[in-house]
Each structure stands twice: as structure tokens, then as C-alpha cells.
Amino acid sequence: MRLLLPATDAGVAIQAVATLVCIAALLIVFRHDRDLRMLLFGVAVLAAGFFSVRALH
């Protein structure tokens, strides 16, 4: 569980950047498939919410 919840604020920022880079790369790979793009958009929104809550906690 420590991989999902880093112990430091710097860890949260690094994890958020790494996740956003991965999502951007997947959006480029799946740019022609609308359904997968919408799925990735949903995952990106959930990740942003998770990191926001984690940063406030």
C-alpha cells in the first residue's frame, strides 16, 4: 500500500507527475480509439481527485 500512498509531500508530487506522464503517453497511443480515450480521461479525473485528497491529507 505504500506505493499508492507515499509518505512525503514530495512523493505525492512525483507520483502525480509520473501518473500524468503515463496517462498522456497512453492518450497518444490510443488517439484513434474514442472509447479508450474516454476511459483514460475518466482514469485521469479519478487520479487527479485521488492526488488532491492525498495532498490535503
Burial class, 17, CB count within 10 angstroms (exposed 0-12 / middle 13-18 / buried 19+) = exposed
The pTM of the full predicted model, rounded to 2 decimals, is: 0.63
Question: Are residues 31 and 37 in contact, defined by beta-carbon separation less than 8 angstroms?
Answer: yes
Per the structure, the complete domain to which residue 35 belongs is given by 28-57
Task: Note whether residue 56 is domain-resident.
Answer: yes
Task: Note whether residue 9 is domain-resident.
Answer: no
**44, pLDDT greater than 80:** yes
Which tens digits make up the pLDDT trace of 1-43?
Answer: 455 655 566 777 777 788 888 888 888 888 898 898 888 888 8
Task: Note whether residue 22 is domain-resident.
Answer: no
**55, pLDDT greater than 80:** no
Task: Note whether residue 49 is domain-resident.
Answer: yes
User: How many domains is the chain partitioned into structurally?
Assistant: 1
Task: Supply the pLDDT for residue 1.
Answer: 46
